[in-house]
Amino acid sequence: MRLATAAVAAFTSLISTAAADRAGHVYIIDQSNQPHSRDATDLDTLSPVSARLVLAQRAGVEDYHAADLESEGVLDAINEYGVKTPMFADGKDERRRKLNMMVLVEEAAQEDVEASKLNQYPSFAVSPAPGYTASRGLWIDLAKQSEPSIYGSLSDEEALEQLSKLPDSHVHDTFHISTSIDELQNLLNHEKITEKYTITAYVTPPGKYAQTGDGAWQWGSYSMPSTSADSQATLRKRSSSRPIAEAPLEDTSASSDSSFTTHDFTAPVAAEELHSNKKNTSTSPLPGILPQCFPSLSACQETTRNCSDHGSCYKKFTDNSASDTSRYRDCYVCGCKATVKETSSDGGKTTTYWGGSACQKRDVSVEFWMLALFSIGFVFLISFAVGSVWEMGGEELPSVIGAGVSGPSAKR
């Protein structure tokens, strides 16, 4: 009996160890919140799809991942680990909010994580964890979704090189890929970074499994900003799963066999091609979510289609704290201008005002003086009506109403 009990305990321990080796961990590090210790047995475990939705929501690009919102447990996971947005937040609250830094830490041993004291921050497990290739692809896609003007025209290799560098400016949400837990610890020890950013770190599991992952468990598919200017679809589907080779039904050429191993993502177009096709897409909706700042004048003009022909790009400010070679040093935005059109032959004109990041939104607000006069007139009309009814009710009734009316006579 004791031998059977010991065997069951050993088998259970082996299963738990194997499951831990196949699980990644996401840590939400915000120095403004008080750290708290948490028992490992109470740690929530999310599927890769649910974890991806949480990461996308924290990166502010959840619109590209909306297809999986109805999956089981996704909304509960976002409510628990996502960014909390106040219902009645004003502009000052938005400016005071911390920036997001999404950090991918590859192959960190459990003892290194415990030594770094990451367990004191809110966290959850991702099991079974996707492999390195899928995780790197997800981080590249999140960066392209968040900052299409910066990463959209880069290949995956170029974007990976950019994400491997530490940020030299602190005015944008940042994505970074780290190769060790020590590098993440250096970020946490950087006072300026912890003041500016809320860090969301995904630590992949160590070992051979993390290098390949489980083919049936990857991050899933989602939409990406369109990189084809003449495409009618504003979004394209992209899967972070590694392509799985299949046996062909018949003999095919070598080129068709290689389609299972090559990168099946749509290649970005060059800026010149995008600029040449701008005239053909001037009436189509702008794809994706436009950033508030563009790193260069050409990027602003190409991404916004020259401010939708309703204005022009200009330099709004320069971040002097950034290096001269930083892509975040300059901030170019659209300056919108009013459009005046003649409505009739007698010289009548209508003026249309524009707004939005690309001057693509029509301003339908009413002039202040018109709104003020209408409000004052409406209040005066209501006051006059109430006063008239009140004055009428305060008058005495005419005596003729009581004429001919008398009480019963007394009986004798």
3-state secondary structure 312-377: EEEEEEECCCCCCCCCCCEEEEEEECCEEEECCCCCCEEEECEECCCCCEECCCCCHHHHHHHHHH
Question: Does pLDDT of 259 surpass 80?
Answer: no
CA angle 37, 204, 26 (to 5 degrees): 40
Q: Which of 120, 118, 98 is nearest to 110 (CA)?
A: 118
In tens, the pLDDT along 151-201 reads 888 888 999 998 988 776 666 788 999 888 888 888 888 877 878 888 999
Nearest to 81 by CA among 186, 173, 201: 201
Q: CB of 124 within 8 A of CB of 46?
A: yes
Q: At what angle do helices 48-59 and 132-146 cross, to 10 degrees?
A: 30
Amino acid occupying residue 280: N
Number of alpha helices (DSSP H) and beta strands (DSSP E) in the chain: 16, 14
Query: Do the bridges between strand 123-126 and strand 45-46 make them parallel or antiparallel, or are there none, so unpaired?
Result: parallel
Confidence of residue 98 (pLDDT cuts 50, 70, 90): confident
- For the chain, the domains span 22-84+97-226, 289-362
Tokens of 52: 């991806």
Residue given tokens 């082996």 in the structure block: 14
What mean pLDDT value characterizes the chain?
74
Res 327: pLDDT: 72
In the three-class reduction of DSSP (H, G, I as helix; E, B as strand; rest coil), residue 249 is classed as coil
Peptide bond connecting 128 to the previous residue in cis, omega within 30 degrees of 0: yes
- Contact assessment for residue 113 and residue 184, using Cβ atoms and an 8 Å cutoff: no
Counting beta carbons within 10 angstroms of the beta carbon of residue 379, is it exposed (0 to 12), middle (13 to 18) or buried (19 or more)? exposed
- For the ranges 63-67, 90-94, 126-130, 298-302, the lowest mean pLDDT is seen at 90-94
Find the mean pLDDT for residues 296-325.
86
- The pTM of the full predicted model, rounded to 2 decimals, is 0.55
| pLDDT of residue 411 exceeding 90 | no
pLDDT value, residue 362? 85
Query: Over 80: is that where the pLDDT of 214 sits?
Result: no
